[in-house]
Amino acid sequence: MSRFKFSVGPWNVHEGADAYGPATRETIPFEEKIKKFKEIGFDAIQFHDDDVVPNMNELSEAEIIAEAKKVKALLDRYDLKAEFVAPRLWMDPHTTDGGFTSNSEEDRNFALWRAFRSIDIARALDCNYIVLWLAREGTLCYESKSPVESTKKLIDAINQMLNYDKQIKIMIETKPNEPIDRSVCPTLGHAMAISAASVDPSRVGGLLESAHAMLAGLDPASEIGFALSMGKLWSVHLNDQNGMKYDQDKSFGVENLRTAFNQMKVLMESDFGKNGEYIGLDVKVMRTEKQEGSYKHLENSLKIAKMLEKKIEKFDYDYQKKCVAERDYEALEMYVMELLMQG
């Protein structure tokens, strides 16, 4: 048993296509994924707006809500909650040059329309959290947008969302690059500043994805700790990453075990989850995996998170204090390594 509740998104089970090659596995129907997530031990589902209502651009606002209610009934059937809804602003022809910070006013309005619909969908799923992964909010050609104006446009869009619905809370999922070259909001420090500049800072927080912090050259445990210190870490996407290259979404802990240990440790020390927060996984199975292995990375990541939780329960804080008092950090480091390597 874990002290944490865990969440996952339907996109975490995918067909294996990448930028250089086609799918390697069959598509698994939505309901089958949901059923399997429950069996594996997840408590909640993360959604993009069009995971819930696939053809939403063609539907009226009332039709979108009606469709979302069908998904709510499906979740109820499997005793699962919705953790958040995120507008998928990077896939649409309207947002080729970004959404909230696009140079086109028409496209900015479309992005806001999708953000408002995401709020409606979240409400229909009985959930108050919106995630903004700001995939294309930044530049490909640096001189095409002003960093000052882009930041103001982003804050303005967030304010409009906060005013649209007084209950919703927005989590900014930061990432420094990919698909964009330079992001407007690359780290949780930026997210906290945007929160402070918004009309209601108490409703704007952050979501840290381990791989995204590593892509910014930062330690994910420190990013988590920074937002926790402000009471603004409302979710995490645990996964792993081999260095500063393309976003890999590897299973949690498989590349950087000590870093994974320290992410779990800071979450446990801060009693993360006490306000109902979930530990989210945002992992992808390898492209080489066969159809029957489509969920292995989720099972493995959950197992690793829970094994680390057990390790941290054994962490000897008295010994840590003694090492700190004697400034014997070599001894402390070796203690951590032994703890990690012992069976």
State the residues that interact with ligand XLS by CB under 6 A.
48, 86, 131, 133, 173, 175, 209, 237, 247, 282
Torsion, Cα 201 259 136 60, to 10 degrees, reads -70
Q: Is 209 near Mg ion (CB under 5 A)?
A: yes
Residue 247 partner contact from ligand XLS, Mg ion, none using kind-dependent CB cut-offs of 5 to 8 Å: ligand XLS
Measured from the CB of residue 86, what is the shortest distance to Mg ion in angstroms? 9
Q: Are 237 and 281 in contact (CB under 8 A)?
A: yes
Spatial distance between the Cα atoms of 9 and 82, rounded to a whole number of angstroms: 10
Q: Are 209 and 283 in contact (CB under 8 A)?
A: no
Q: Which is nearer to Mg ion, 245 or 290 (CB)?
A: 245
Report the residue closest to ligand XLS, judged by CB. 133
Q: Which residues contact 334 (CB under 8 A, 6 or more apart)?
A: none
Q: Is 108 near Mg ion (CB under 5 A)?
A: no
Q: Which is nearer to ligand XLS, 215 or 323 (CB)?
A: 215
Dihedral sign from CA coordinates of 133, 135, 137, 143: positive
* The only residue of 88, 203, 237, 250 in contact with Mg ion, by rule CB under 5 A: 237
Burial state string for 264-280 with b = 16 or more CB within 10 A and e = fewer than 16: bbbbbebebbeeebbbb
* The only residue of 107, 240, 255, 282 in contact with Mg ion, by rule CB under 5 A: 282
Residue 203 partner contact from ligand XLS, Mg ion, none using kind-dependent CB cut-offs of 5 to 8 Å: none
Residue 86 partner contact from Mg ion, ligand XLS, none using kind-dependent CB cut-offs of 5 to 8 Å: ligand XLS
Q: Are 147 and 188 in contact (CB under 8 A)?
A: no
Site for Mg ion in 6-65 (CB under 5 A): none
Q: Residues interacting with Mg ion, by CB under 5 A?
A: 209, 237, 282
